[in-house]
Amino acid sequence: MVHEWQALTKMTEGRDLKVTRVHVPEAGISIEGEFALPPLARLSADDQLFAAVFLKTHGSIKQMEKYFGISYPTVKNRLNKIGSRLDMVNIDVVIEEPEKEKEDRLDLLDKLGNGEITLEEVLKGLE
């Protein structure tokens, strides 16, 4: 089953598209002018589907891997590519590690470097 948006995206072959008329049948209202599509609608049909599946899986990369049969790095690269085309939101993602966890992790690495603990003990401590 081909949805209207898929047919429209295929028809435009990635070229810019301007909407010149918007009609709301229930309200009997039509507006004419020149309207740009929102950034999500400008993505290819494949990228729109990929983004929709990502949202439906609540951002689970593991589920994305299974659904599309691709690797973790491929999922991440594709999400990065799609994200770079969505300039409607510009944010810097910073994941801050709590200071206590950072100190514990560094302490484990110091102990490993001094030969006080084994690699296996470090790995258990990092879990």
Q: pLDDT, tens digit, for every residue of 12-57?
A: 666 777 889 989 999 999 999 998 888 888 888 889 899 999 999 9
pLDDT band at residue 115 using 50, 70 and 90 as cut-offs? confident
pLDDT of residue 36: 82
Domain map of the chain by residue range?
A: 4-84, 96-127
Average pLDDT over residues 59-87: 91
Which H, E and C letters describe the chain, residue by residue?
CCCHHHHHHHHHCCCCCEEEEEEECCCCEEEEEEEECCHHHHCCHHHHHHHHHHHHCCCCHHHHHHHHCCCHHHHHHHHHHHHHCCCCCCCCCCCCCCHHHHHHHHHHHHHHHCCCCCHHHHHHHHC
Q: Which fold has domain 4-84?
A: Arc Repressor Mutant, subunit A (1.10.10)
pLDDT at 90: 66
